[in-house]
Amino acid sequence: MKFSDNDIKQIKNHNLSVAKVQKQIQQFKDGVNFSDIYEAATIDNGILNPTYEQVDELIKFFDSKKDQISIVKFVPASGAATRMFKFLFDFLKEYNPVLQSLNAYINRNSLKDLPLFLIAIEKFPFYERVLEQIHNNGIDYKSLNPNQKAYEFVKAMLEEDQLNFGSFPKGLFPFHKYNNDISTAFEEHLFEMAFYGSKKEPLKLHFTISEVHKDKFTEEFKRIEERVEKITGFAYDISFSYQHQSTDTIALTTKNEPFRNEDGSLYFRPSGHGALLKNLNDINADLIFISNIDNVVVKHYKAEVAKYKKVLAAILLQIKAQVFQYIKLLKNEDVSEIELNEIAAFISNKLNYSISEEFEKYSHKYKVEYLIEALNRPVRVCGMVKNEGEPGGGPFWVKDESGRLSLQIVESAQVNKKDKEQKRIMANATHFNPVDIVCSTKDFEGNTFDLQQFVNEKAGFITMKTKVGKDIKALELPGLWNGSMAYWNTIFVEVPILTFNPVKTVNDLLKPSHQLS
């Protein structure tokens, strides 16, 4: 693939190299590898299920340790709220209140989302704000008929010259209402961390955002900081970063040619949440909590959600302590064969790492090197909820090219649906990935790992998108909790469904976890 001088200049201005872009194009042509899922991870087969007594003990353990370690909460928050309103954008585009009734429109299109939205409209936290906008437009809302009310309400919400909710970053959209206070997802994350943060220093939260929204997030924090600190009794240290341009990927036409913008320039796209590995790698902390921006709850449920954050963190701290102890033992020249076998059993049974069948034949020296290499990796403990039909990834035992089994979070797009057996295994998964992760990215000497060294580069995604009405092929990097963490040591733990409360559409805000009553 030859690039013009202008192309090369554009590539360099994007902090990319020609070689890297050529490699991306070759990936499109070669295709990406599907995951070879061996079986679903289930309770007692890759997923821990602590008893009530164990939960209590783990919480006590974490509470006894949290003031001795540094903690950061890492929240991918760059997503726009646009997709929350897809059915409402369709409504604005298709519906004419003068020519047809609401009921006729709903029945003709067999709609479910729109009726629910309209029936429960007063329960949304932004209801009063939208009415205020309609009033400012000089419209007497109360005098309108139902058809006009629905149309004017959605117009006030979404039109660019009105509230323009579709342009909001999801983190700053009104999620919850407490009396006269409206709370965003961003604010809810601050309140939530007060339940499991340490009082020895300000609570540290790091949000990855779009650079264009930096000022909005900064202004929102200034607006709420004093009130949140007064209620929680904590000080806060909030930081932001952006998805690096150098992680963008080139888009291709369906004929595997570079897709070009109308001005002839190359079109580059953000490469999915796997691009945030660079941002995660810059975090310096003993313990990092990871959760999505939209997975929050109203204050009534926060203590229960936080309980299980502590459970995951406690399991990680206990595992990490044992890992470090074993590495120290392995570096002692007097380590015995019995101790080597004990460590190998720990790696296999607790870290879910398949020890080579040839292990027994290795020399003593190579056994030591092999075990240190298996232990000295980033560690993640991931909450898993029972599968209730949500789209997305789940926990599986995956076989790599050498035949070694490991625990992985696998997305639907990573599975070859044309293979009946792979499709069957995927369909029978008992659990779902809610992105509820606690991780340790430091080695036994306290140095931060280079996380790029633990990525399965072949675990990317190729998806079809559209640009100005044309089909394009898009390449996404290995997902942050998929291929980007493929060679981490991984532990899965069942957590209650209450801990999983994403807001994918605006109607999700009507669920009990997002309503006070």
Q: Work out the angle between the directed axes of helices 52-65 and 302-330 (0-180°, nearest 10).
A: 70
Question: Mind spelling out the 3-state secondary structure of 34-53?
Answer: CCCEEEECEECEEEECCCHH
CA separation (Å) from 229 to 156, 173, 219? 33, 21, 16
Q: What is the distance between the terminal CA atoms of the chain, rounded to a whole angstrom?
A: 60
Mean pLDDT of 331-343: 92
pLDDT (0 to 100) of residue 391? 63
Model confidence at 402, pLDDT cuts 50, 70, 90, reads: confident
Mean pLDDT of 349-353: 93
Which helix (DSSP H) or strand (DSSP E) does residue 157 occupy? helix 146-158
CA distance linking residue 150 with residue 92, whole number of Å: 10
Tokens of 216: 């909005």
pLDDT (0 to 100) of residue 137? 95
Tokens of 72: 């950061």
Identify the bridge partners of residue 492 per DSSP, sorted by sequence position.
Answer: 47, 382
Q: Work out the angle between the directed axes of helices 86-94 and 146-158 (0-180°, nearest 10).
A: 120
Say whether pTM exceeds 0.85: yes
Tokens of 12: 């360099």
Mind listing the pLDDT tens digit for each residue in 58-75? Answer: 999 999 999 999 999 999
Alpha helices in 80-137 (DSSP H): 86-94, 102-108, 113-119, 127-136
Tokens of 407: 């625990």
pLDDT (0 to 100) of residue 427? 87
CA 494 to centroid of chain Cα atoms: 18
Mind listing the pLDDT tens digit for each residue in 474-492? Answer: 888 888 999 999 999 999 9
Identify the bridge partners of residue 487 per DSSP, sorted by sequence position.
Answer: none
Is 309 a residue whose pLDDT tops 70?
Answer: yes
Tokens of 186: 């961003």
The answer to whether the CB of 195 falls within 8 A of the CB of 144 is no
Tokens of 436: 């509820």
Mind listing the pLDDT tens digit for each residue in 127-176? Answer: 999 999 999 999 999 999 999 999 999 999 999 999 999 999 999 999 99
The answer to whether the CB of 287 falls within 8 A of the CB of 317 is yes
CA separation (Å) from 431 to 47, 90, 389, 396? 9, 33, 10, 9
Is 319 a residue whose pLDDT tops 70?
Answer: yes
Least confident of 76-80, 104-108, 265-269, 320-324: 76-80
Residue with tokens 């990525």: 455
pLDDT (0 to 100) of residue 308? 97
Tokens of 295: 């997975």
CA distance linking residue 390 with residue 432, whole number of Å: 8
CA distance linking residue 28 with residue 293, whole number of Å: 31
Strand order in the sheet with 37-40: 37-40, 394-399, 405-410
